[in-house]
Amino acid sequence: MNLDEFNISEDNLQIQPVLLGGDINCYSVARAFHEEYGVNSIAYGKLALGATKDSKIIDFRIYEHMDDSEKLVDLLIKLSDEIKKDKKVPILMGCTDEYAEFIIDYKDSLSKSYITPYIESELKDKLIEKESFYEMCEEKGLFYPKTYIFSKGDTVTDFEFSYPVIIKPSDSVLYWQFPFEGMNKVYTAKNKEEFVEITNKIYEGRYDKNLIIQDFIPGDDSHMRVLTCYSDRNGKVKMMCLGHVLLEEHTPTAIGNHAAIITEYDEDLMNGIKDFLESIDYVGFSNFDIKFDTRDNKYKLFEINLRQGRSNFYVTSSGNNIAKYVIEDRILKKDLKLKIQKDPFYWHVVPNGVVLKYVKDEKLKGKVKILIDQGKEATSFGYKEDLSGNFKRSLYVFLYNINQFRKYKKYLG
pTM score of the predicted model: 0.92
253, pLDDT greater than 80: no
pLDDT tens digits, 285-336: 999 999 999 999 999 999 999 999 999 999 999 999 999 999 999 999 999 9
Q: How confident is the model at residue 402 (pLDDT cuts 50, 70, 90)?
A: very high
Per 3-state DSSP, the chain is made up of helix, strand and coil in percentages (nearest 5) of 40, 25, 40
Percent of the chain with pLDDT over 70: 100
Q: How confident is the model at residue 242 (pLDDT cuts 50, 70, 90)?
A: very high
What's residue 357's pLDDT? 96
- In angstroms, the CA 54 to CA 60 distance is 9
pLDDT tens digits, 64-114: 999 999 999 999 999 999 999 999 999 999 999 999 999 999 999 999 999
Query: Average pLDDT, stretch 215-229?
Result: 95
pLDDT tens digits, 30-44: 999 999 999 999 999
What's residue 171's pLDDT? 83
pLDDT tens digits, 312-326: 999 999 999 999 999
What's residue 325's pLDDT? 98
Domain boundaries, the chain: 15-125, 146-215, 221-382
The CATH class given to the 15-125 domain equals alpha beta
- In angstroms, the CA 209 to CA 279 distance is 28
- In angstroms, the CA 264 to CA 241 distance is 8
Evaluate whether the domain defined by 221-382 bears CATH number 3.40.50.300.
no
What's residue 32's pLDDT? 98
Percent of the chain with pLDDT over 90: 85
What's residue 219's pLDDT? 93
Nearest to 162 by CA among 210, 132, 195: 195
What's residue 103's pLDDT? 98
- In angstroms, the CA 228 to CA 243 distance is 8
Query: Average pLDDT, stretch 246-271?
Result: 93
Query: Average pLDDT, stretch 204-225?
Result: 92
413, pLDDT greater than 80: no
Query: Average pLDDT, stretch 187-215?
Result: 92
- In angstroms, the CA 207 to CA 376 distance is 44
Q: How confident is the model at residue 381 (pLDDT cuts 50, 70, 90)?
A: very high
Q: How confident is the model at residue 159 (pLDDT cuts 50, 70, 90)?
A: confident
pLDDT tens digits, 127-150: 988 878 999 999 999 999 988 889
What is the CATH architecture of 146-215?
A: 2-Layer Sandwich (3.30)
- What is the chain's mean pLDDT, rounded? 94
Contact status, residue 390 vs residue 54, Cβ threshold 8 Å: yes
